[in-house]
């Protein structure tokens, strides 16, 4: 029997992580969460690589190909919708489909953020504020509809829609935060990377040594990995005069994609077997 302070009791007593189907058998619970990967160190490594690829890949279309933010957003939106359809139609966890959808959200998030901040002239403060509101509304609607924002039961199309919409907003917000930190606050790319790495380390410590909601910590880390990827991506392809390495965007994107594929081949990810 679990003790009052045990992780099992903390998870079930947390209203944010509570699953309406907690009374299911263990096998039933595994079926419910089988379409998301287990959150491991490997998960976060691939997530950061995917967010960095989103930055260089998004800039490849909008800047290197000179398609502009709006046209690039339209192209990536089509890819995103197609990826979500594949993910929703899947009957179980497929790591390639899942991470393809994640990359689709990062590239689309990059061009949306750039379009809102730059093309619409809202600037980083205005764009970030709008995106924070969008993310908060997505969480609120998800919680109202299902009673939880924990990633524990995403097998219905409605719940998966909330899941991927929330991820898209988090990726877009992260892009805006990363650009704002590097371009406006004056930390530049290396300073921004150190800042977001430090914040992620604090979240990791909170996960290890506190009883804070695992769901809140998960989503906070999920959001913060995006600006980390954004500043790292900018560091790779921006001119040396602006603090970057001036690498070719296509080459950088290809290298990041190869790294992701290599990791997924080397350490195949498995579906989650517990809520997070």
pLDDT in tens, the chain (276 residues): 444 444 444 444 454 555 444 444 444 444 445 578 888 999 999 999 999 999 999 999 999 999 999 999 999 999 999 999 999 998 888 999 999 999 999 999 999 999 999 889 888 899 999 999 999 999 999 999 888 888 766 667 888 889 999 999 999 999 999 989 988 887 889 999 999 999 999 999 999 999 999 889 999 999 999 999 999 999 999 999 888 999 999 999 999 999 999 999 999 888 766 655
pLDDT at 27: 44
Check: CB of residue 111 under 8 Å from CB of residue 168: no
* Predicted local confidence at residue 35, as pLDDT: 78
Q: Give the pLDDT of residue 36.
A: 80
């Amino acid at each position: 029997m679990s003790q009052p302070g045990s992780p099992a009791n903390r998870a079930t007593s947390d209203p944010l992580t509570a699953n309406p189907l907690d009374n299911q058998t263990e096998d039933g619970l595994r079926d419910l969460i089988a379409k998301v990967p287990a959150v491991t160190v490997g998960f976060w490594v691939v997530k950061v690589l995917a967010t960095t690829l989103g930055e260089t890949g998004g800039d490849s279309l909008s800047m290197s190909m000179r398609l502009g933010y709006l046209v690039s957003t339209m192209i990536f939106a089509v890819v995103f919708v197609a990826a979500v359809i594949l993910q929703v139609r899947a009957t179980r966890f497929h790591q390639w489909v899942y991470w393809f959808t994640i990359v689709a959200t990062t590239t689309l998030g990059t061009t949306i953020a750039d379009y809102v901040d730059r093309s619409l002239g809202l600037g980083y403060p205005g764009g970030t504020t709008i995106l924070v509101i969008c993310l908060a509304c997505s969480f609120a609607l998800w919680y109202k509809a299902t009673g939880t924002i924990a990633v524990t039961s995403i097998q219905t199309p409605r719940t998966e829609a909330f899941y991927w919409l929330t991820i898209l907003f988090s990726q877009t917000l992260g892009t805006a935060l990363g650009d704002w930190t590097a371009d406006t606050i004056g930390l530049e790319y290396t300073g921004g990377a150190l800042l977001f790495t430090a914040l992620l380390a604090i979240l990791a410590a909170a996960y290890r040594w506190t009883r804070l909601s695992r769901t809140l910590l998960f989503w906070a880390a999920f959001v913060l990995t995006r600006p980390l990827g954004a500043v790292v991506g900018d560091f790779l392809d921006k001119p040396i005069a602006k603090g970057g390495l001036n690498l070719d965007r296509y080459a950088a994107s290809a290298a990041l994609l190869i790294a992701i594929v290599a990791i997924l081949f080397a350490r195949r990810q498995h579906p989650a077997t517990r809520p997070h």
